[in-house]
Amino acid sequence: DDLTLAVPVAVSIAFISLLETLLAARLVDDKKCEDLCTFFYDENGELIPPAGAEGDAPPADVPTETILSLAAGNGLSVLAGGFGGCGLVPQTILNLNSGGGGQIATGAYAASMVLFALVIAPLVGQISNPAIAGIMVQVSLETIQWQPTFDTVKSAFENKEGAIIRLGVLVITTLLCYYVDFAVGITTGVVLDLIAQGKIGGMASRA
């Protein structure tokens, strides 16, 4: 049955898309020193409202608006005969490293995608597989957070408090992503990190 085959795969892809979109948003927060997609918790595990929030909460926070926009865009794409997409960590990092990060950069990216799809697609199709592989390798190297990874390993060797746990989370997440799939690996990594930070189990602390 086609539906039986399609639904589990679709749910898995949608879940990975949500996670990667929110992870990309967190990267923007880190790079721009903002807290738009970063949540903080008090000692009771309750979500701390954004700074300056008064009275009733806004109708939707930035992560919620991001996901709703993603869903709407994917829905329109399907109606037009296209396929779904999501916020991508590699492209986000390259955009930030190139000086982007605002609405102009986002609009330029969207316009470039339309241009590639409608005009330059035949030329893009002529790019050889080795060249594409080389581009993807370079993008992956730009994506890896080398300094935080090095700091985690160094702290573990120096036997700093909590460093072994952080290194364990890093290794487990990497292995699961490689040997199982991204959905399992990323979800497990996020849950383990929340447990390590005390945000699960009633011991939440400010991130």
Q: Write down the pLDDT at residue 206.
A: 42
Q: Are 16 and 183 in contact (CB under 8 A)?
A: yes
Q: Write down the pLDDT at residue 175.
A: 93
Q: Write down the pLDDT at residue 70.
A: 86
Q: Write down the pLDDT at residue 43.
A: 61
pLDDT-derived band at 172 (thresholds 50, 70, 90) equals very high
Q: What is the average pLDDT score of the chain?
A: 78
Task: Provide the percentage of residues in the chain whose pLDDT is more than 90.
Answer: 3
| pLDDT at 57 exceeding the cut of 80 | no
* pLDDT, tens only, 183-202: 788 888 888 888 887 766 54
Burial of 38 (0-12, 13-18, 19+ CB in 10 A): middle
Q: Are 86 and 98 in contact (CB under 8 A)?
A: no
* pLDDT, tens only, 64-89: 788 888 888 888 888 888 777 888 77
pTM: 0.65
Q: Smallest Cα–Cα separation from 113: which of 140, 141, 144, 73?
A: 73
| pLDDT at 6 exceeding the cut of 90 | no
* CA dist list (Å): 63 to 89, 123, 135: 15, 36, 30
* pLDDT, tens only, 29-39: 777 777 666 66
* pLDDT, tens only, 106-137: 788 888 888 887 888 778 778 888 888 888 88
* pLDDT, tens only, 44-56: 656 565 554 454 5
* pLDDT, tens only, 89-100: 777 877 787 787
Q: Write down the pLDDT at residue 200.
A: 66
